[in-house]
Amino acid sequence: MHRTSALAISLLALSIGSAAADPLKGSYGFTGTAACLVAPGHVGNENIPPPLPNPTPGVALFNSGFNSNLQPNDFQNPGNSPSASFNRSFSVEGIRTFNGDGTGTVKGTAVGVSHRPTPGPNGFPHFPPAASTADFSFSFTYVMNADGSFTATMVPSSFTETFTAGPRTGQTATVDAIPPITGMISEDGKTLIAAHVTADVETHTYSNGDVFPEICHRSRVFIKLKGGNGDKD
């Protein structure tokens, strides 16, 4: 009898110790906003006909991406060689689950807008301003830092999204690696805040063959969900 009681107490202590070791364990609802500078590169001249198809589907254009000053590579002289770079912004809502073992998952919905001016109407790429909705998910790893903050990093190639409204409806997309977010935990452990602290390039690849490098800033607020303590029993 005493051995059974001692074993139960030991297991309880181990359970409490494990939970205390990872203050993030559980599920959190989140909202947030983001904006991206997209640098798809271009071929032809966006001001001179004709509109062109994508010459390298599934492969980024030769003049896409950013230089060492984080400026679009195709930006030279806007009067003579227009850049096809553009801005997009979006808001998100979803659930981030910390498994308690340094891994986790994210599922959510994004509502976005591609702002004027957008590339075109000629050359490639070319499209008008528009709004969109997409469902997304990805996996991540995380660590607690010495100062009590945490850093979460997307598992490479785990991000997928499906567009449910807008010009890309029915298309899917991937992102190679969303930059890490660094966050802080409230005193009661029920609220988190997080954001990017570096400006890193990520590549958005769409199922229609578009490949668009971009630099984004994101911020998130998380709240612990009722019953979202991460326990499996």
Q: What is the pLDDT of residues 53-98, one digit of tens each?
A: 999 999 999 999 999 999 999 986 655 567 899 999 999 999 999 9
Query: How many whole angstroms separate alpha carbon 147 and alpha carbon 126?
Result: 47
Comparison of pLDDT for 115 and 230, the residue scoring more:
115
Query: How many whole angstroms separate alpha carbon 106 and alpha carbon 99?
Result: 11
Q: What is the pLDDT of residue 75?
A: 83
β-strand partners of 140: 104, 154
Q: What is the pLDDT of residue 47?
A: 85
Query: How many whole angstroms separate alpha carbon 127 and alpha carbon 217?
Result: 23
Q: What is the pLDDT of residue 20?
A: 52
Q: What is the pLDDT of residue 78?
A: 55
The average pLDDT across 126-134 equals: 98
Q: What is the pLDDT of residue 79?
A: 53
Q: What is the pLDDT of residue 3?
A: 47
Q: What is the pLDDT of residue 128?
A: 97
The alpha carbon of residue 65 and the mean position of all alpha carbons in its chain are separated, in whole angstroms, by 18
pLDDT digit string (tens) for 203-229? 999 999 999 999 999 999 999 998 766
Strands annotated E in 25-121: 26-38, 86-98, 103-114
